[in-house]
Amino acid sequence: MKHLIAPSILSADFLNLGKEIQMVNQSQADWFHLDVMDGMFVPNISYGQPVIKAIAREADKPLDAHLMIMDPDRYFDDFKNLGVEYLTVHYEACTHLHRSIQRIHNLGMKAGVALNPHSHISLLEDVIADLDMVLIMSVNPGFGGQEFIHRSYTKITKLRELIDRNNAKTLIQVDGGVTLDNASSLIAAGADVIVAGSTIFKSESPDETIRQLKQI
Ligand code: DX5
Ligand code: ZN
C-alpha cells in the first residue's frame, strides 16, 4: 500500500481555517488529522466538537481524530455524529481499553490506539488483532513543532513484527516531528500513515510540501 498523508490541523492558521481546509481538499493529502487535547492528559488545550463540526462541513476527505483526553469514552457518540472515520484513543488514558475499542467499532468507526514514547509495543499484544490503526507518538503529545524522538524507528519495526505475527491488517501511523528529511526512513521502517503539522503548515507552500511527502 502506498503511504497516506494526514496533515495535522493543529498547525493550521485558525483565522483562515476554511482556506486551510480547502487547501488540504485540493492537495494530495489523504486524511485530516484532528488533535483533541483536554489540558489534563496533556498540558495543552486545543479544540473540540464545535470546531470539528465546522471542519467537517468543508472537509471532503476522511477525518482522523486523535484524542489526547482522559476517559475518552465519554465523547465517542459525539465524534461519531461529527462524521469521524478513524477514532484514536491513548493507551495511557483508557482503563478498559478493550471495551473502548469495542465501543468505537460498535458505533461504526475504525479504532486506533496511540502509544506515548514511554509505552512499549508489547502492551498491545492482546488487542492488536482488533485494531485498525496504532499511532506511535514520536514526540510527547501536547504540542506541534517538537523534535522527533529517534527511538521511534525501533518501535515501528517492533510494531510491524507484532502486526505480521498476528496476520493483522493494522495501519501504523507516526505522529510528531515528521519532516521531509525523516519521512522516507519512517516509511521504509514500516509506517503507513504519516502525520505532519508544522512541516506542512509552516512551509512556504503547504500543498507542495504535501505533494513531496506523498511522492516519497
Ligand atoms: C502532538 C500532536 C501532533 C502534532 C504534530 O501532540 O498529536 O499531531 O500536531 O505536529 P508536528 O508535526 O509539528 O510535530
Ligand atoms: Zn496527533
Tell which atom from ligand 1 comes closest to the C-alpha of 200: 12
Q: Residue 1: its pLDDT value, please?
A: 79
Tell which atom from ligand 1 comes closest to the C-alpha of 178: 12
Ligand number, closest to the Cα atom of 44 = 1
**What's the gap in Å between 178 CA and the centre of ligand 1?**
9
- pLDDT bucket at 159, cuts 50 / 70 / 90: very high
Report percent pLDDT > 70 for the chain. Answer: 100
What's the fold here for domain 4-215? TIM Barrel (3.20.20)
H-helix or E-strand spanning residue 195: strand 193-196
- pLDDT bucket at 183, cuts 50 / 70 / 90: very high
Contact (Cβ atoms closer than 8 angstroms) between residue 182 and residue 194: no
Rounded CA separation 46/38 (Å): 7
Residue 181 above 90 pLDDT?
yes
Tens of pLDDT along 41-70?
A: 999 999 999 999 999 999 999 999 999 999
Residue 39 above 90 pLDDT?
yes
| Of the candidates 30, 5, 9, 27, the residue with the CA atom closest to the CA atom of residue 18 | 9
**Mean pLDDT of the 145-169 span:** 98
**What's the gap in Å between 66 CA and the centre of ligand 2?**
5
141: left (phi over 0), alpha (psi -120 to 50) or beta: beta
> Could you tell which of 10, 68, 152, 213 is best to mutate to test the pocket of ligand 1, judged by most ligand atoms within 8 Å of the CB?
10
Q: Residue 60: its pLDDT value, please?
A: 98
Tens of pLDDT along 66-125?
A: 999 999 999 999 999 999 999 999 999 999 999 999 999 999 999 999 999 999 999 999
pTM above 0.85, yes or no: yes
**Residue 146 CB burial class (10 angstroms; 0-12, 13-18, ≥19):** middle
Q: Residue 33: its pLDDT value, please?
A: 99
